[in-house]
Structure 1
C-alpha cells in the first residue's frame, strides 16, 4: 500500500493562503449579492464567485482536518455588513471579478506547480479552471456592454527585424530611453496601470467607510500612491504617443456606512500590494529600456514601505494570522536542556 503523503511546506502555505483569501471573498461577495442590481447580468456572476469561494474553503477544510491541521479563522459574518448602503455601483463588481481573474491566475498556477499530492494538485487545477472561466465570462460581458477598456494597439510590423550588433554596442538603441516602447513593455505598463486604477478606487471607497482613523489615513495614503503610480505609467505611455485608459472612479458612491470590517479591508489591500510587487518585478525583468527597471524599482520600494505600514496596523490590532512556519530547532534544543 502506498504510504500516506504528508503536506509539504509549499502545499501548507498555498492552501493556507487560498483559505484566507477565499474567506475574504466570501464576505466580499456576500455584500455584493445583497445590493439591488440595476444590471441583471451581473448578480449571477457574483453568485458564481461566491459559490466557488465556499467550495474552495470546504475543500481546504477537509484536507486540513484530515491532517489535524488547524483551520484558519479567516473572515466570518462578523466582517461584513450585508445591509450597508451601496459603496460601489454594479460595474465595480463586474470589473473586480474581471481584474481578479487576471491577478489570481498566475498565483493559482504557481500553487499548482509547487504541489505534489494529487488531491492538492487537483484542487488547484480546479481553481485555475474556475478562475479563467470567470475571466472569460466577465470579459465577454464587459465587451458586450462596452465597459471593457482594451489595451493599446500599435502598428503591425512590416517585416522581421534583428538587433544590429554595431548599433547595439555603439548607440545602445535598444536600451536608449528615447526609443519608443515595444509591445512587451507597453503590455506590462498598461497592466500595472490598470491594477493601480483598481487600487485607487478600492482605497477611496474603503477610506470613506473605515472606522479607525489609522485605517482611514492608511487608505488615503494608498489612494495617493496609486494616483502617483497611475500618473507615472500614463506619462510613460504618452511619451510614445499611447493613450492611457480611462478611470473607473465614477463607480465609487458617497456612502460612509462600512460594509466590511477594518480587518477585512486591510487584508484586501495587503493582498493587492503583494500582487503589485510581483507584477512590478516581472515587468522590470521583461523591460529592455534602462529607464523602466529603474522606474519599477522605485515604485516597488514605495509600495513595500506602504505595505510595512499596513502590517504594523494589522499586528497592533491582532488582525494578522500567522502562516504555518518551520520549527525553531534551537529553541527546542534549549528547552530540552
Structure 2
C-alpha cells in the first residue's frame, strides 16, 4: 500500500493548514503572556501544555510548507504581544480559556481529519485532535479540583421509552410550550457558557485595544454576547431549568497594551466563526420552532458582526489572504 504522501496538497488541506497555522501562532502569543502572570501552579501546568502543543504544531506546519515549497504564512509573532504588560484576567478566567481551546481544537481538528486525503496530513491532524482532547481533559480536571467546573443542568432520569405522537412537539410560538429536551438543554447551556466566557474576554480586549475603532468593535461584541446569554438563559428559566453559570471570571482594570489590534481582531472573528458553527449544530438539534428561530436570528447577528470585523481587518491591512484559486478572467487578459 502506498501512502500517496507525494501528491500535492488539496484545496481543503491547504485551507485547514493555513487556518491552523494562524490560530496556533495566536495561541503561542496569548499563552506566553498568560504564563507571565499565573499564580496557581496547577493552572500554570495546563497553560504551559497548551503553549507546548501550539509550538509543536507551528513547527510541524512550517516543515510541511517548506517541503511543499509553499510560502509560510505570517500569522502572529512576538511583535503582536507584550508579555510583560500587566495582568488582564484572573487564573480562573485563564483556565476556562484554555479549557475552551481544547473544545474548539476538538471541533476544528476532527473536521480537518475528515477533509484531508494524504496519510501524513491525516496523521498530523489526528495527533492534533487527540492532544486537544487531552488538553480539555487536563484543564477540566483542574477546574473540578478547584471547584469551578460548571456542570450542565441536571434533569430526572427517564422512567420509560417514548415516541413523539403529536405535532405539538415542534410548536413553541403560541400556546403551551412543551418542556425542553435534554438535547435542547445541552445546546442552550453550552451556548450560554460560551457567550459568558466570550463576553468577559471581549471586555478585556476593549480595554487594551489601541484604536478607537477596535475598542468600539470589542465593546459591541461584549454587548452581543450579553444579549445572546440572556436569550439562552430565558429559554432555560422558562422551563424551570437552573443555570448556575458563575464561572468566577474576573477582568482587571488594566488598559496597557498587551496584544496588537491585528491579533485582537483575528481572535474575535475566529471565536465568532466557531460560535456560528456551534449555533448551526444547536439549530439542527432543536426541534422546537421558537428555539430554532432564535438560533437563526442570532446567527445572522453574529454573521454581520464577523463581516464588519473582516472589513476592519481589510481596511487596516491585517487580513492575511488564504490560499486561493487563480483568477482565470485576469489570466485570460494576458
* Structure 2 counterpart of 1:222: 221
Pairs within 5 Å for 1:185-204: 185-204=184-203
Note if contact 1:201-1:248 (Cα within 8 Å) is conserved in structure 2.
Answer: no
CA RMSD between the two structures: 1.3
Matches within 5 A, 1:135-284: 135-164=136-165, 168=166, 172-177=167-172, 178-248=177-247, 250-284=249-283
* Contact 1:197–1:247 (CA under 8 A) maintained in structure 2: no
Distance in 2 (CA, whole Å) between partners of 1:293 and 1:243 is 21
Shift of 1:176: 2.1
Distance in 2 between the 1:141 and 1:324 partners?
39
8 Å contact from structure 1 (residues 38, 90) kept in 2: yes
Moved over 3 A (4+): 247-250
Shift of 1:293: 1.2
The 8 Å contact of residues 34 and 83 in structure 1, kept in 2 or not, is answered as yes
> Cα gap change, 1:249/1:204 in structure 2, threshold over 3 Å: closer, same or farther?
farther
Q: 1:163 deviation in Å? A: 1.6
Corresponding position: 1:80 with 2:75? no
> Once the 2 structures are TM-superposed, how far is the Cα of residue 23 of structure 1 from its aligned partner?
0.4
Post-superposition offset of 1:5: 0.6
**What do residues 102-154 of structure 1 show as CA deviations (whole Å, max 9, x unaligned)?**
12211100001111111111110110111000111111111111010000010
After TM superposition, the score normalised by the length of structure 1 is: 0.95
- Paired residues for 1:286-325 under 5 Å: 286-325=285-324
Q: Which runs of 5+ in 1 are unaligned?
A: none
- Mapped to 2, the partners of 1:249 and 1:314 lie a distance apart of 32
Distance 2:196 2:273 in 1: 16
Q: CA deviation at 1:334?
A: 1.8
**Do the aligned partners of residues 250 and 57 (structure 1) sit closer, same or farther apart at CA in structure 2, a change above 3 Å counting?**
closer
Contact 1:209 1:258 in 2 (8 A): yes
Deviations 1:264-315, CA, capped at 9 Å, x for gaps: 1111110110001111111111111011111001101111111111111111
TM-score (norm 2): 0.96
Which residue number corresponds to residue 33 of structure 1? 35
Instruction: Indicate if the aligned counterparts of 2:93 and 2:250 stay in contact, CA closer than 8 A.
Output: yes
User: In the aligned structure 1, how far is the partner of 2:20 from the partner of 2:271?
Assistant: 14
Partner-residue secondary structure (3-state), 2:232:
helix
- Could you give the per-residue CA deviations for residues 33-72 of structure 1, whole angstroms, max 9, x where no partner exists? 111x331111121111111111101101111111111100
Say whether the 8 Å CA contact 1:201–1:249 is kept in structure 2. Answer: no
CA distance in 1, matches of 2:320, 2:244: 37
| Residue 3 to residue 116, structure 1, CA distance change in 2 (3 Å) | closer
Structure 1 position 254, deviation (Å): 1.0
Whether the aligned pair in 1 keeps the contact of 2:150 and 2:247 (CA below 8 Å) is no
Q: How many pairs does the alignment contain?
A: 328
How much does 1:3 deviate? Answer: 8.0
**Structure 1 CA distance, aligned partners of 2:246 and 2:261?**
25
1:61 match: 62
CA gap of 1:161–1:221, structure 2 versus 1, over 3 A, is same
Q: 1 CA distance for matches of 2:115 and 2:307?
A: 27
Distance 1:3 1:276 in 2: 34
Q: Distance in 2 between matches of 1:55 and 1:143?
A: 28
Counterpart CA distance in 2 for 1:174 and 1:316 is: 48
Write the mapping of 1:117-132 to structure 2, written as runs, cut at 5 A.
117-132=118-133
